[in-house]
């Protein structure tokens, strides 16, 4: 008798879980449809890869040779509030009329030791990094 009751209770619980999943599929609609066209993804540009590799390796000397002082200032702002870079990841790149945007996420710690993530984009034209956003 007890076994039957346990099986019945468990069965009702499982049915409940399935019903919850079904309800979620109706409630969670995901991102709304965008009326604007999407550009196709392209490969990571070499110049941008070199810059992000220097950041990931904490190699200030190489970075100083790859980008000018204006871009270093922009890069510093883009990385805020991260002061200690722990990881870099290329997330994608798109191109429009010869202008490439190569996007990265950087994980690291703030000065208070809090884990944080920031995203920034290197603008590439004619195989050269020409800006940081």
3-state secondary structure of 112: coil
User: Is residue 17 within the footprint of another protein (CB under 8 A)?
Assistant: yes
Contacts with another protein in 48-87 (CB under 8 A)?
78
Cβ contact 124:48 at 8 Å? yes
Given 1, 3, 4, 37, the residue binding another protein (CB under 8 A) = 37
Min. distance of Cβ 16 from another protein in angstroms?
2
Nearest CB to another protein, comparing residues 29 and 65: 29
Q: Could you tell me which residues are beta bridge partners of residue 107? A: 87, 117
Token output for 65: 């040779």
Min. distance of Cβ 50 from another protein in angstroms?
19
Cβ contact 64:54 at 8 Å? no
Given 4, 38, 111, 126, the residue binding another protein (CB under 8 A) = 38
- Which among 65, 34, 55 is positioned nearest to 108, based on CA atoms? 55
Token output for 78: 């883009």
Query: Residues interacting with another protein, by CB under 8 A?
Result: 8-9, 12-25, 27-32, 34-39, 41, 78, 89, 91-94, 96-97, 99, 101, 103, 105, 107, 115-121, 123, 133
């Amino acid at each position: 008798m007890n076994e039957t009751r346990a099986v019945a209770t468990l069965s009702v619980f499982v049915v409940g879980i399935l019903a919850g999943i079904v309800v979620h599929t109706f409630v969670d609609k995901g991102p709304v449809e965008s009326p604007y066209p999407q550009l196709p993804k392209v490969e990571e540009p070499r110049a941008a890869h070199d810059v992000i590799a220097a950041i990931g390796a904490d190699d200030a000397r190489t970075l100083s040779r790859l980008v000018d002082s204006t871009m270093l200032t922009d890069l510093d702002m883009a990385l805020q509030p991260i002061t200690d870079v722990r990881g870099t990841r290329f997330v994608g790149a798109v191109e429009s009329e010869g202008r490439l945007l190569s996007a990265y996420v950087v994980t690291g710690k703030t000065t208070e030791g809090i884990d944080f993530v920031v995203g920034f984009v290197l603008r590439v034209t004619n195989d050269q990094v020409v800006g940081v956003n």
